[in-house]
């Protein structure tokens, strides 16, 4: 059974966007994963197709209504649907490669893309939405975040990238940042490829790459080494 992603959004025309290109798009065309979108306004109950209202207690912006969003979620993921329900949110838990791996091994995901000031807390609680953040910044909506999440997931689905070794040494897969890469020409603007990489000694190459990964991680992301 392939990975099935369902997006609830006010802007379904944004999809598939970059998810339809390159190896991710080929994986979709090959049936390794699927993507569907649901327009939140289709569940509005008035002739103006209203999906938001002013925040209780006052304040700026508008809030997505819980009854409208709950109806959309229930239609996309009825009782018994095993897929996790995710809300892209700047206040969510930071997305990690470990969580991406868990999701890639599952049946898919239902992803809610928020807009305006946010969504009513009651629907987050009642529909058990897992809030995920892609970084410490705020976007206009959850659609770009959903694309980031899905690209991270889909590239791990067997067959999408080809050989499993394609991502075995990548940043975060082994707890460190990835080592630097080089390719021909041998000399570029007076700088040579490190001699160890053309030595043919695979043991030395592996040790060099490990040392480079450790040095980069210590310099740029020492927090990743806190557990070591």
3-state secondary structure of 142: coil
CATH of span 3-154: 3.40.1280.10
204 to 45, 182, 223: CA distances (angstroms):
67, 16, 27
3-state secondary structure of 37: strand
Task: Give the model's pLDDT for residue 111.
Answer: 98
Among 34-38, 56-60, 73-77, the range scoring the smallest mean pLDDT is 56-60
pLDDT tens track for 133-189: 999 999 999 999 999 999 999 999 999 997 654 555 565 677 899 999 999 999 999
Region of 172 (left: φ > 0; alpha: ψ -120 to 50; beta: rest) is left
Residues 6+ apart with CB under 8 A from 131: 86, 87, 89, 91, 92, 93, 124
CATH of span 169-225: 1.10.1270.20
139 neighbors 11 (Cβ within 8 angstroms)? no
Integer Cα distance of 84 and 102 in angstroms:
11
Residue 228 has pLDDT above 50, yes or no: no
Neighbours of 21 (CB within 10 A): 11
Integer Cα distance of 203 and 194 in angstroms:
15
Integer Cα distance of 210 and 12 in angstroms:
43
HSE-CB at 91 with a 13 A cutoff on CA atoms is: 7
pLDDT tens track for 59-85: 899 999 999 999 999 999 999 999 999
Neighbours of 103 (CB within 10 A): 25
pLDDT tens track for 88-128: 999 999 999 999 999 999 999 999 999 988 999 999 999 99
Integer Cα distance of 107 and 4 in angstroms:
6
Q: How does strand 63-64 pair with strand 85-94?
A: unpaired
Q: Which of 68, 14, 15, 66 is nearest to 40 (CA)?
A: 68
pTM recorded for the entire structure: 0.89
Neighbours of 206 (CB within 10 A): 12
Task: Give the model's pLDDT for residue 175.
Answer: 82
3-state secondary structure of 3: strand
Domain residue ranges in the chain: 3-154, 169-225
The chain-wide mean pLDDT, for the chain, equals 93
- Which two three-digit tokens encode residue 73? 């979620």
Task: Report the side by side order of strands in the sheet with 52-53.
Answer: 52-53, 63-64, 118-119
């Amino acid at each position: 059974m392939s990975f099935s992603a369902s997006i609830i959004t006010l802007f379904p025309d944004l999809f598939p966007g970059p998810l339809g290109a390159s190896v991710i798009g080929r994986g979709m065309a090959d049936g390794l994963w699927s993507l569907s979108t649901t327009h939140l306004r289709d569940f509005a109950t008035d002739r103006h197709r209203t999906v938001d209202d002013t925040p209780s207690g006052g304040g700026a912006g508008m809030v997505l209504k819980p009854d409208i969003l709950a109806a959309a979620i229930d239609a996309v993921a009825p009782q018994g649907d095993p897929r996790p329900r995710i809300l892209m949110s700047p206040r969510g838990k930071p997305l990690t490669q470990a969580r991406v791996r868990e999701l890639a091994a599952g049946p898919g995901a239902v992803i809610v893309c928020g807009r305006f000031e946010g969504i009513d807390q009651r629907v987050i609680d009642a529909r058990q939405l897992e809030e995920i953040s892609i970084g410490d910044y705020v976007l206009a909506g959850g659609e770009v975040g959903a694309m980031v999440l899905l690209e991270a997931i889909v590239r791990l689905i067997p067959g999408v990238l080809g050989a499993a070794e394609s991502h075995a040494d990548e940043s975060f897969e082994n707890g460190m940042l990835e080592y630097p890469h080089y390719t021909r020409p041998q000399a570029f603007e007076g700088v040579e490829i490190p001699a160890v990489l053309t030595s043919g000694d695979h043991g030395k190459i592996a040790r060099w790459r490990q040392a480079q990964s450790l040095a980069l991680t210590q310099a740029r992301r020492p927090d990743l080494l806190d557990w070591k």
